[in-house]
Every structure is written in C-alpha cells, then in structure tokens.
Amino acid sequence: MVKTMRSGVTLFITLSIIAAMLALLGVVFKYLETARSEAEVKASLIQGNLLYADARSAIRRLLGKTPKTSTYKSIYDLPLVIASQNGEFGAVIACGPIADRPNIAWMGYDGDRNHQGHFEIAEKIFDKLTDDANLRNPASLHQKIIDALKRKRIMRFNILSNINKKKGTISLREFQSILDEYRYEENDDKVDSVPWQTYFAFGEDLGEIDSNFIRPEVLAVIFDIDLRLIQGQDGFEMGDSLKKFLEENGLDTTLYDQKPPQEIFAKQAPIDAMACTVNYGFREGQYAFRFGYIKKRVVNFEFFGH
C-alpha cells in the first residue's frame, strides 16, 4: 500500500514537472515569436527608411526646378515604381494633391477682409456636410472647431490637450479629438459618417486651392454645380483649366477671379504640395509609410504595417 502511494506521489510530481516545463516552453516560444516579430518590424523600418530616401529623391527629380501642371498630373495619375536591379524588391509610390480642397482653418477667417472668400467657402461646405448628415447640434461642433483654431479650448476629460502650436491650424488627429468630444457630449454618432477628409484639408494651411486639381465634390459645392455634370463626359478632370470649365458652363467666376491678397485659387503655377504613400513588401509582411511633400520639404512622416 505504501509502495502504491509512493508511486502515485512520484507520478504526480512527474506530471507536475512536465506541466511546468510545457508551460515554460510555451512562454519561451511566445517570447521567441514576439522577439522575431519585433525584429521583423525593426528590419522593415530600416528598409522603409532607405525607401523613404529613394522616394524623396525620385519625387525631386521628377518635379525639377519649375514643375508644370502636366508634371504634377503625371505623378498623380500613375504610381511611381521603385525596383532593385535584380527584381527581388520593389515598392509603389502613390501621390495626390493636398491643396485640392479648402483647409479647415478657413473656418476661422470670419471678419478677415483679405480672407472673406476663404471663410465663406469653408462655411458653405461645413453647412452642407452637417445638413446632409443631419447632425443633432452642428452649432456646438462649429464652436468647438473655432475654439480649437483660436487655441482657447478648455481641457475636458483628457480628450484634447492645448498643444502650443501655431494658432489657426488643426491637425487631423486634433480634429478627430474634436469629433470624439462632440459625439460624447451630444450623443451623436452621425458625426462619424461625415466625409470630412473629402472636403477639408488639415494641418498646414497653404492659403489657396490649386485650381487645376480641385476635387469634384468641392467644386460642386463651391460653385453650386450638379456633381454629375462635373463627372460627366464633358466634365472637369484633374489637370483641366478651372477657368475654362466655369466659362464654358456659364458659371460665375467671381471667386475664381479674386486677386491677392484675397486670392482663393492658385492660377499662375501649381501649388507645390502633395501627399504620398509608399507600399512595399518585406520578407513575409506588407508595410507602408506616408508623408507630405510641401515646398520641397517633407512633413508628417508616418510608418504603418498591414
């Protein structure tokens, strides 16, 4: 009987040791997998950094010293491809205009004579978006945006902090915080369905809309045109002359014809500002990074994997 009990205890201890070892192996394997994954991400970051330098150089070479509208159109129309000589590695660079819509900062120009047209355009677009979405309290959201532009916001439940940046600008991240606060206070989820980024740019205010690359949706609102006309066979395509399109369709060109300092649409040359995304594969993963290219400088670099 004693021998049987000892065998049972021995067996129990043996099973406990095996279980502990299996658990330890599980932790080790999990650690190794985490380490491998982190190493993979670090390696992809290094690769992305090299690609970033290549992408920036490629864009600079393509633009040259005095790029024309046709140059920007070519870059926007067709992605750029970077490939190694042996064909083992490649990346795709896709760029688009930044100044193809008004900046959200234009909502803060009320009372500024030199920017009254900018203000009216921003207000018109804001009203359309909030009306279409049937927001519960658009006036509240409007005031939050104005307060943020004036940097007079009060800290509320740690959603948005007053960052000491230049007055009169709102980053996309800050704007999302404003939307979050509005949704919480007004219990209005409809604010998330509004296509804000289609109609407004965020971050640095370039002061003008690139007339040759204005978004069709924005063009429709500003000049009260049916979007189907703009997107039709004889409509407005990226790179076209906005002035010619307005005249051919008998539309009021007052806003377009504004001269400095009230000028709203850049006419003499394309605005040197674009947003680019670089997608590339590395080993078994797919990665990407994006950045803004404004006036020969790179801004807002962001890396992400997917």
The whole-number pLDDT of residue 184 equals 95
**3-state SS class at 188:** coil
pLDDT digits 0-9 by tens, 59-81: 777 777 778 888 888 888 888 77
State pTM to two decimals.
0.76
DSSP state of 204: S
Give the closest residue to 107 by CA, choosing from 178, 5, 43, 21.
Answer: 178
Burial 53-90 (b: 16+ CB within 10 A, else e): eebbebbeeebeeeeebeebbebbeeebebeeeeeeee
Low-confidence ranges of the chain (pLDDT < 50): 2-3, 5-6, 8-13, 15, 17-42, 44, 46, 153-164
Of 95, 17, 28, residue with least CA distance to 59: 95
pLDDT of residue 216: 95
DSSP-H helix ranges across the chain: 2-63, 69-77, 116-133, 138-149, 172-186, 196-199, 216-222, 227-230, 242-248
Phi, psi torsion values for 113, nearest 5 degrees: -60, -40
Q: How many CB atoms lie within 10 A of CB 126?
A: 22
Contact in structure between 261 and 114 (CB atoms under 8 Å): yes
Pairing mode, if any, of strands 265-266 and 273-282? unpaired
As a whole number of angstroms, the distance between CA 52 and CA 71 comes to 21
Buried b (16+ CB within 10 A) or exposed e, 207-241: bbbbbbbbbbbbbbbbbebeeeebeeeebbebebe
pLDDT of residue 98: 92
| 8 burial via Cβ count (<10 Å: 0-12, 13-18, 19+) | exposed
C-alpha–C-alpha distance, residues 186 and 194, integer Å = 16
Write out the two tokens for 286: 């797919």
The candidate with the shortest Cα–Cα distance to 302, out of 192, 178, 173, 198, is: 173
156-206 pLDDT, tens per residue? Answer: 434 444 444 555 788 888 999 999 999 999 999 999 999 999 999 998 899
Can you give the length of the chain in residues? 306
- Say how far apart CA 213 and CA 90 lie, in whole Å: 29
d(C-alpha 134, C-alpha 190), whole Å: 8
